[in-house]
Amino acid sequence: MKKKILIVVTSFDEVKSTGNKTGTWIEELATPYYQLTDLGYTVTIASPKGGKGPVDPKSIRPEFSTEAVKRFYNDVAAQQQLDHTVRLNEVQEKDYDAIFYPGGHGPMWDLPENALSIKLIADFYEAGKPVALVCHAPAALKNVKDKSGAALIKGKQVAGFTNSEEIAGQTTHEVPFMLEDMLKEEGGEYVKGADWQPFAVSAGNLITGQNPASAKLVGERLIAALQGK
């Protein structure tokens, strides 16, 4: 059986306080997308609202355009998937083998409070299936509980975009909260590598990565988990 992976992207496209456009950081989608599809895995992209998944325009700039990003924008089928995402209310854990969340500032605004996303993460985790999130996407873990009612991340090693990276990027006004602080407040054992360098950590079937450069590492850990390694 071909493995099926659910990728959940944000539907949030503008920070109202600044008027700045936002969305998914495209490298964090494109890199794992090809890691998975090149192995023959089937990928479905879903979002809270369905339809066109917004992309942070900054992430398309030449200085951030990795090989995977360039490949994505030359790939009509991949772009079609992002332009026609499935609504979250149309997907369920039993139909997939793993779930993956790419980051960007967008996910910080619409995923932490989204009941469907919260339930999906809990369902995948409790089913023992890989749950992977990178950069700002671990924000989606904020209100996820385990079956005992405790925060899912309590006592688990988690990574995510660091306070120092947010400050260095001069983007503290673009987020509703500081991700590092939230992960610690919810009881996560927050761990990190050097700013802007690849870093990822696994806590059982929960896989988290620190920043855009960590997307490849998270993809590798996700594939290893899918292959039972």
Range of the domain at 84: 4-226
Closest CA to 36 of 3, 69, 77: 3
Q: How far apart are the first and last CA of the chain?
A: 18
Section 7-28 average pLDDT = 96
Annotate 117-126 with b (16+ C-beta within 10 A) or e (fewer).
Answer: bbebbbbbbe
The total number of structural domains in the chain stands at: 1
Whether residue 54 contacts residue 22, with contact meaning beta carbons closer than 8 Å, is answered with yes
Position 2 pLDDT exceeds 90: no
129-157: buried (b, 16+ CB within 10 Å) or exposed (e) per residue?
A: bbbbbbbbbbbbbbbbeeeeeebbbeebe
Per-residue pLDDT at 45: 98
Q: Binning pLDDT at 50, 70 and 90, where does residue 118 land?
A: very high
Q: Tokens in use for 171?
A: 């983007």
b vs e for 32-54, b when ≥16 Cβ sit within 10 Å of the residue's Cβ? bbbbbeeeebebbbbbbbeeebb
For residue 16, what pLDDT is reported? 87
Question: Per the structure block, which two tokens stand in for 33?
Answer: 């997308």
Report pTM: 0.97
pLDDT in tens, 168-219: 999 999 999 999 999 999 999 999 999 999 999 999 999 999 999 999 999 9
Q: Which residues contact 115 (CB under 8 A, 6 or more apart)?
A: none
Percent of the chain with pLDDT over 90: 97
Region 118-128: mean pLDDT is 98
CATH classification of the domain holding 102: 3.40.50.880
